[in-house]
C-alpha cells in the first residue's frame, strides 16, 4: 500500500499515518491537503491521511472543502493527542528568539503562550516545514518527533493553550470499505433549501430514527454567496436499516446529499 500524508516528515499527520497504515505500507509526504486528495482521487496512491478536526481549533477547512469537491471516501479515523513544543537550533536561547514559525493551526493552538513572548509570527505550510526554516533568531512550534528528525532542541515543552488538545485524522480511499462491528460512524454532506425550518426538517430524518448526530458543521457552498453545505457525522453504519431510512427521508428535504463513508476508529 502506498499512503499519502500531509508532509513533510515529522508532522502529526506523519505520526497518524504510521498508526493508520499497515506495517508493510509505504508512506509518502505531500505538500498540501489538496495534493493528498488529488493523489487519492486519481489513484496514484492507495490511500491518504489528512487532519479533519482539532478539539480546540475546530475543523480543518481545506479538508472539509476537498471532501465536498472530490470523489473520495473516508475509511477510518484516528484521534491523536497533540503536544506542541517550542523548538530551536541547538545553542539558540529563548531570549534571542525574534520570530516564531509554524502552521497557522499550531500557532492558533498556542495563542496564550505566544502572547507571553515578544516575537513576530510567521506561517509555514506545516509544523515540520517550519522546523526547516530556522535561524539563530527564530523558533518553531512543532512535535517532539520533529525535534528528533530535524536535530532541534526543545526550548519549552507543552506550549499548547489547552492540555486536552487532540486532532482527528481520516484515512481516505477511492474505494468504499465496510466498517466492522457495530461501533462505527458515518459522515455525510448535504445542503437544504433556504426556507424556515429547512434544516430542522432535514435533521428530523435522523431524530425519527433515533440516530445520534456526533457533529454538525457548516461551510460556505462556494456555489452561491451565504449558502452553506452541512457536514454531519452520525453514529452507525450507512448500510443499516435505520440509516437507510433516515438518508432516504433526508433526500426529500435536501438539495443534495453525499455520503462520505462509514468507518471505524483505529
Within 10 Å of residue 73's Cβ, how many Cβ atoms? Answer: 21
Contact call for residue 89 and its own copies (CB under 8 A): no
Contact call for residue 61 and its own copies (CB under 8 A): yes
180 is catalytic: no
234 is catalytic: no
Residue in 132, 183, 217, 59 with CA at minimum distance from that of residue 50: 59
Within 10 Å of residue 63's Cβ, how many Cβ atoms? Answer: 21
- CA angle centred on 109, ends 108 and 114, rounded to 5°: 70
Residue among 11, 63, 127, 167 flagged as catalytic: 167
Q: Are 88 and 139 in contact (CB under 8 A)?
A: yes
Contact call for residue 207 and its own copies (CB under 8 A): yes
Whose Cβ is closer to its own copies: residue 210's or residue 241's? 210
Pairing state of beta strands 2-6 and 26-30?
parallel
For 119, 157, 177, 258, the CA distances from 147, given in Å and listed in that order, are 20, 11, 36, 40
Q: Name the segment binding its own copies (CB under 8 A); options: 18-26, 42-50, 202-210, 248-256.
A: 202-210
Q: How far is the CB of 183 from its own copies (least distance, A)?
A: 15
Helical (H) or strand (E) element with 248:
helix 241-253
Question: How many residues form the binding site for its own copies (CB under 8 A)?
Answer: 46
* Of the residues 1, 42, 212, 256, which one makes contact with its own copies according to CB under 8 A: 212
Convert residues 135-174 into a mask of x (bound to its own copies by CB under 8 A) and - (unbound): ---------------------------x-x-x--------
Residue list 15-34, contact with its own copies (CB under 8 A): 34
Residue in 52, 125, 51, 113 with CA at minimum distance from that of residue 84: 113
Residue among 169, 190, 230, 234 flagged as catalytic: 169
Q: How far is the CB of 220 from its own copies (least distance, A)?
A: 5
Distance (Å, rounded) from C-alpha 20 to C-alpha 111? 30
Contact call for residue 55 and its own copies (CB under 8 A): yes
Half-sphere exposure of 254 (CA within 13 A, CB side): 23
Q: Name the segment binding its own copies (CB under 8 A); options: 42-50, 117-125, 172-180, 254-262.
A: 117-125
The SS3 assignment for 25 reads coil
Whose Cβ is closer to its own copies: residue 2's or residue 228's? 228
**Terminal-to-terminal C-alpha distance of the chain:** 17
What residue ranges bind its own copies (CB under 8 A)? 34, 54-58, 61, 104, 107-108, 111, 121-123, 125, 162, 164, 166, 194-197, 199-201, 203-204, 206-207, 210-220, 222, 224-226, 228, 230
- Positions annotated as catalytic residues are 167, 169
Amino acid at each position: 500500500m502506498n499512503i499519502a500524508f500531509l508532509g513533510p516528515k515529522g508532522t502529526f499527520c506523519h505520526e497518524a499515518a504510521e498508526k493508520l497504515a499497515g506495517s508493510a505500507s509505504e508512506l509518502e509526504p505531500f505538500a498540501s491537503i489538496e495534493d493528498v486528495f488529488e493523489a487519492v482521487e486519481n489513484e496514484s496512491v492507495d490511500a491518504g491521511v489528512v487532519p479533519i478536526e482539532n478539539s480546540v481549533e475546530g475543523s480543518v477547512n481545506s479538508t472539509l472543502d476537498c471532501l465536498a469537491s472530490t470523489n473520495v471516501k473516508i475509511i477510518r479515523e484516528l484521534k491523536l493527542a497533540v503536544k506542541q513544543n517550542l523548538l530551536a537550533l541547538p545553542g539558540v536561547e529563548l531570549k534571542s528568539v525574534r520570530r516564531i514559525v509554524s502552521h497557522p493551526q499550531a500557532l492558533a493552538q498556542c495563542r496564550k503562550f505566544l502572547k507571553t513572548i515578544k516575537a513576530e509570527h510567521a506561517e509555514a505550510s506545516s509544523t515540520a516545514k517550519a522546523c526547516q526554516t530556522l535561524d539563530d533568531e527564530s523558533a518553531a512550534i512543532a512535535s517532539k518527533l520533529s525535534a528528533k528528525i530535524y536535530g532541534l532542541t526543545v526550548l519549552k515543552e507543552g506550549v499548547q493553550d489547552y492540555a486536552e488538545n487532540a486532532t482527528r485524522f481520516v484515512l481516505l480511499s477511492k474505494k468504499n470499505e465496510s466498517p466492522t462491528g457495530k461501533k462505527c460512524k458515518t459522515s455525510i454532506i448535504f445542503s437544504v433549501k433556504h426556507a424556515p425550518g429547512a434544516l430542522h426538517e432535514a435533521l428530523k430524518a435522523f431524530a425519527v430514527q433515533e440516530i445520534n448526530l456526533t457533529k454538525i458543521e457548516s461551510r460556505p457552498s462556494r456555489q452561491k454567496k451565504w449558502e452553506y453545505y452541512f457536514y454531519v457525522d452520525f453514529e452507525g453504519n450507512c448500510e443499516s436499516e435505520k440509516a437507510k431510512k433516515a438518508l432516504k427521508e433526508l433526500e426529500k428535504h435536501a438539495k443534495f446529499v453525499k455520503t462520505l463513508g462509514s468507518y471505524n476508529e483505529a
